[in-house]
Structure formats: C-alpha cells, structure tokens
Amino acid sequence: MSGPLAGHVTAKLKRSLKALAVVVAVGAIAIFAARPFVPFSGGEAPLDTAPPAYMDMESEGGIHPQAESSDSESEDRARRPVEEVLQVGAGEKLMDLLGRAGVPSVEALQAIDSLVTIFDPRNLKAGQRVTVTFDPSPDGFGQGEFHQISLPADPIRDVAATRKAKGGGFKPEESKRQVTRQVAHYSGTIKSSLYESAMAAGVSPQVIIAMIKALSFDVDFQRDIQSSDTFEVMFEGWYDTRGKLVRQGDLLYAGLDLSGAEIQLYRYDDGQGGTDFFNAKGESAKKALLKTPVDGAKITSGFGMRHHPILGYSKMHKGIDFGVPPGTPIQAAGDGTVEMAGPNGSYGNYVRLRHASGFGTAYAHMSRIAQGIHTGRRVMQGQIIGYVGATGRATGPHLHYEVLQGNAQVNPMSIKVPTGVKLAGREFDHYQAFKRQTDLIMASIPSATHVAIMAGKPGFKAN
C-alpha cells in the first residue's frame, strides 16, 4: 500500500495507539489510588501481610492478632481430649446436664451409677461447674466417645467417673487438694455494720454469720453497735497452697468492744462431748431467750403506752413491734412447747410458746404459721415457727412480739433471762487455763493472718 491511502492508515493507527495508552494509564492510576497507602522503608525486603484477627468478646472488644497454626499444631490439637465445661442450671440433674452435653443416655446412666458411690448427686448446686470430657475424634474432626465427667464435690475434694480402659463401663475416681488446717485471726473497727466491716477486713461470710449467731444472745445488732466499736475473731479453717480459705472450721473466739463494754466468747469443749461458747466468767453464751426472734429487725413500736394507729386513742402496747419485710422467717426465741397456734382475733395468725423458768413468748400478725407448728408441739430455739405478715389488726407487715412472765406481758428489752450452764469448781479452773492459752495464741497471730495448728496445743484439737 502506498501513496495517500497508506499515509491515512498510518495516521489512524497512531491515533488508536495513543487512545489505548491513555486508557491504560488512567486504569493504572485508578487501581493505584484504590489500594491502601503502604509506606516503603526503602529496603529490599518484601512487604508482610497482616495476620488474620479475631474478636475476643471477653476483653472489652479488643482486636488481637492470631497466628496461623502450623500443620503439626493442628494435628496435636486433634489428638487432645475434648473438654466441655457446663454450668448446672436451676433444678438441673446430672442426667439432664450430660444429655445437654451430647452424651448418649445409656453411657450417662452408667457414669452416674459409678459417680454416686463417691458423690451424692443431691448435693449438686445451681451454678456449679461440671467438666464433660470426650476422647479425640479418630478422623480429627469433632469429638470421639464420651470419656469422663468430673466436678468438685467440696472445697477440698474432686470426683469423677471415667471410662474403663477394658471391659466397658465407668470407674469412680476422687482426688484431694493439698490443704492444711490453720488458725486465722482478724480484728477491726466497725464503721457501718459488723457484717460489712468484717467483710472489708477479709473475714468470710460464713465466719461472720457464725460470729453473729454466737453473739446474738448478748447483742442487739440493730441498736447496740455504734460506729468506732471494734470486733475480734479467731477461727480455724483449711487453706490451700496459695493461702486461700477453702473450708471454714470451728469459730474459736468472738469478741466485741461496744463503747468500752467488752463481750468475749470462747468456744470450749468440756471433754465429754459438750461444746458451747462461754464468757470470761464461765457463763454459757446461750440464754433462755433470743434478744430478737427475726433477723434484720428494726423496732417500730416499743413497749408501753402509745397512740394506737388504728383505734385512734392511747392504749398500752404490751409488746414490741419489729418492722421487717413480709415473709421474713420468725424464730422461736427459746426451747419450749406450743401453747397456741392459729387465728387469734386482732392478733391475726398467732403462736404462743411456753418456756422454762415461767417464761412465755407470743408472735402475732403472721402471714402464715410454719408447717408442723401446732398445740403441744416441742420446738427448739431458733426453729422457724412462722412468717412475718399483716393479719389481724395491723397497718402493715410487722412482727408483734411479747414476752410473758407467768401470764403477764413484760418488756422484752428490760427483763433478765436465765443463762444456760455456768462452769464451777475444777471445770471452771480448767476453763480459765484454756482461756489464758487461747488469749496467748490470739496475741501471737497478727491480724488478717493464719498459721498452722500445732499438734498437742492446749485448747485445740490436733491435726
């Protein structure tokens, strides 16, 4: 091709190539602009790509790099047993829990039959953690057959039912944690309440409750305790190798200084099976009647003349009213016999008990009387006899409580009730020696610490 036609074709080809070059350049710029900016260090090393990330839901949404697993690590994981930790639901039984974990019912029943030889399933508690273990899967995916169920039976003992290597079925297994029996000593100043202040000092709730129970015959915890009063407690317990209290033992001493008035109670074993708390004079802390027959009570109306809130005129109030939430359990103030139990006019649901030494107690306006409480029934001090309510002539839920000497109502807050045992003679001398030894031990243990019990130490049982 020559002449004018050839020149025309050449010019057209050049224009097409220029257009193509422009399109390629624009496309390259667009691709480059779409990529994230990566600063170059100027080195020859290739750029590293960021490892994949996962979201840890338990670390406040933080993003953490997760290294890719090697083939050997993946194979190692595939050979490990598969463990599933389950939390016991309210009312859930072991059979239900194992079914939830995917254990066949026949194997679950076999494992439970083995476990019950060392653990009572009725002791299973809601919220308790149970570990269900499966063998590794033969093909490396999922899980193999059910292998074991294990759980803590108590603070120092773990129990399990494990598949037998031969012969089928399951065998029971138990192991004990390494613990030592020690004596702990705590003291502190009360700021708001004994419970809160002792908790802040490091005393466990179980020990505080035992302390309150021992002192409840002498102390009204709503009215007697003031800010800046002090407490002191000594108890024994089992501690693990990390120094953690895993099980509470006996309360050994409970003391309060109430604005200069000291209350000291020592746990004393008379060597003949009798154990009680005694004060410094050798008198049993246990008295014929409790100071208050309901927990957390606040006096809303005292003993004496008052303007009756319903009748509208002054009338003798022959008891004490305790303001507590409806349904609060009411305890028998002392050992005795039920004289009356049932509706009683303006008293509403009413229980009256007859105690030793001519004393009686009455409890009115109950929402209901406890099951089994009827005329002639013997009751023990602290036994639940009913529940707070507002039956009868009452403006709201409360307990109306009366103490009677003979058949006359007396002021429950001013009477002196008989004490229990009073040590005398050689028994009192032995108690005094025990008390001195206890004081020495307590003085030797700094507050908020615990030490191992030495065998043969006077006043304490040997390990």
Taking only the tens place, the pLDDT of each residue in 196-234 is 899 999 999 889 988 988 888 888 777 788 899 999 999
Give a yes or no: residue 360 inside a domain: yes
- Same domain flag for 245 and 323: no
Q: What is the overall mean pLDDT for the chain?
A: 81
Give a yes or no: residue 23 inside a domain: no
DSSP strands (E only) in 52-142: 53-55, 63-65, 82-87, 129-136
- Same domain flag for 380 and 463: no
- Same domain flag for 347 and 395: yes
Give a yes or no: residue 57 inside a domain: no
pLDDT at 302 over 90: no
Dihedral (CA of 325, 331, 334, 338) sign: positive
- Same domain flag for 400 and 313: yes
Query: Which of 410, 433, 455 is where one domain is finished?
Result: 410
Query: Which of 390, 410, 430 is where one domain is finished?
Result: 410
CATH code for position 95: 3.10.450.350
pLDDT for position 232: 97
270 or 32: whose pLDDT is higher?
270
Split into its structural domains, the chain has a count of: 3
- Same domain flag for 358 and 426: no
Cα 334 to its chain centre, rounded Å, is: 29
Give a yes or no: residue 106 inside a domain: yes
Query: Which of 119, 145, 176 is where one domain is finished?
Result: 176
pTM for the structure as a whole: 0.58
**Least confident segment among 11-25, 110-124, 222-236, 306-320:** 11-25
- Same domain flag for 220 and 158: no
- Same domain flag for 197 and 248: yes
Strand partners, 174: 159
- Same domain flag for 435 and 381: no
Give a yes or no: residue 444 inside a domain: yes
- Please list, residue by residue across 5-30, b when 16 or more beta carbons sit within 10 angstroms of its beta carbon and e when fewer do: eeeeeeeeeeeeeeeeeeeeeeeeee
pLDDT for position 310: 58
68 or 413: whose pLDDT is higher?
413
Amino acid, res. 122: R
pLDDT for position 307: 55
- Same domain flag for 332 and 253: no
Residue 86 CA to residue 387 CA, distance in Å, equals 37
Dihedral (CA of 275, 279, 285, 288) sign: positive
- Same domain flag for 269 and 368: no
What is the extent of the structural domain holding 258? 178-286+419-463
Give a yes or no: residue 134 inside a domain: yes
Give a yes or no: residue 322 inside a domain: yes
Give a yes or no: residue 59 inside a domain: no
- Same domain flag for 338 and 369: yes
CATH code for position 386: 2.70.70.10
- Same domain flag for 260 and 314: no
